[in-house]
Structure 1
């Protein structure tokens, strides 16, 4: 009987011990899981902090610096633009028997295109040169002279009524042109263009509106301006298609 009681007592102690161990394990598990979670968070923080210094940031800064630099404008890479105009590229300190044009020559800025005087032939037959119309009772014929509220973006060359007008350079006729002044008067003409130049010639009656022409070839005749405007100097109006000054070519 005593032996049975001892066995029962020992069994109860073992059961109690097992229950106590089980309770202790349950209490330790959340603590351990908290530690593991904290360690994972710390590892992630450390990984993020370590990767904050990424090489992409350095690359972006370099790009910003490069785009912030000023670009240096370069001139022409060759002298072909000047040569096609019949000019010579040389330092502008040299004497030029004509006019200098900028932006047509390679090299230093002081190296410019020298266009010889009289690069185009005389437009009005019977005249020895292209003479710009002076000021008369109606207006002045120089480029950028005042015309009403604006400026004259062409050059008027003196010519006689009904005189033959010759082509200033070789090229092709590109159809009729016309314009009106502030008073409503209409002026007719023709467009002449080549690989280098493009001009509109007004106050003439063309023989043809299309087709190739050679330098010095007759284009038409001057319309009688003096019959319409008393006291005006008869002239042919020469206008560059881009509105630039043709004075250096005539």
Structure 2
């Protein structure tokens, strides 16, 4: 007897569910015939966009190049930065480990002072020395001085872009007497010159400006321009 009641109950329940399904199908068909748009729930677009933005941000923070083309295209070699590089190292141009940097060749720059066949570093005089890391007035010289006469024409040592005026401390003020020159390999600040323009592209050997007259302020000094690498490294291998 109990078994019969159970089977009857299950049969009635099935009929009830089938009836509900048929009713829903009728309503849906009727809405379609009337041209009413049926909206299907979609995921929140804002959440999707935010998720994609987070993924992109996380990727760029730890992103490394997919190949070494950024290095090899400028004549460099990707290697561990613990190895000796005859030129200079550039970061973020090699795939793989963070310790793999791009070693660029030590290609000499052309002469900066017009009329000179090569760049000649300033020796020591009564005002100090012009070598890299030399001491002068209690400070360490983080650049190299290149000999050139007052008002001498200064040529671009390599092809690149001018990045605007650069300044340095002069007592309690800042003295803007230079310009930045850069390309994919090099970035240098050139002081003691008056550029013709501060922005734009220049070709190696093109006249950039003229040397400011140092003899008017420092009588007897060896007139020179000063080179400083933007990252504070030694520019000696390139002059």
Normalising by the residue count of structure 1, what TM-score does the alignment of the two structures yield? 0.56
3-state secondary structure, aligned to 2:216: coil
Give 2:105's aligned residue: 115
1:241 and 2:230 matched: yes
Kindly report the root-mean-square deviation, in angstroms, between the aligned alpha carbons of the 2 structures: 3.5
Bigger CA drift: 229-238 or 181-190? 181-190
Post-superposition Cα deviations, 1:219-247, rounded to whole Å, max 9, x if no partner, equal: 10001111210111111111111111111
Post-superposition Cα deviations, 1:4-34, rounded to whole Å, max 9, x if no partner, equal: xxxxxxxxxxxxxxxxxxxxxxxxxxxxxxx
Normalising by the residue count of structure 2, what TM-score does the alignment of the two structures yield? 0.58
Structure-2 separation of matches of 1:202 and 1:148? 18
Post-superposition Cα deviations, 1:130-155, rounded to whole Å, max 9, x if no partner, equal: 11111111011111111223211111
Give 1:197's aligned residue: 186
1:176 and 2:176 matched: no
Give 1:128's aligned residue: 117
Structure 2, unmatched stretches of 5+, are: 1-64, 80-84
Report if the CA contact (8 A) 1:84-1:196 is conserved.
no
1:225 and 2:214 matched: yes
Structure 1, unmatched stretches of 5+, are: 1-75, 91-97
Give 1:215's aligned residue: 204
3-state secondary structure, aligned to 1:200: strand
Give 1:140's aligned residue: 129
Give the drift of 1:173. Answer: 1.1
Give 1:93's aligned residue: none
Q: Which has the higher helix share?
A: 1
Matched residue count: 170
- Residues 225 and 114 (structure 1), Cα distance of their counterparts in 2 relative to 1, 3 Å cut: same
Q: Equivalent residues in 2 for 1:67-146 (5 A)?
A: 83=72, 86=75, 99-101=86-88, 113=103, 115-118=105-108, 120-146=109-135
- Residues 143 and 85 (structure 1), Cα distance of their counterparts in 2 relative to 1, 3 Å cut: farther
Q: Choose 1 or 2 for highest CA Rg.
A: 1
Structure-2 separation of matches of 1:82 and 1:244? 19
3-state secondary structure, aligned to 2:145: strand
- Residues 189 and 248 (structure 1), Cα distance of their counterparts in 2 relative to 1, 3 Å cut: same
3-state secondary structure, aligned to 1:99: coil
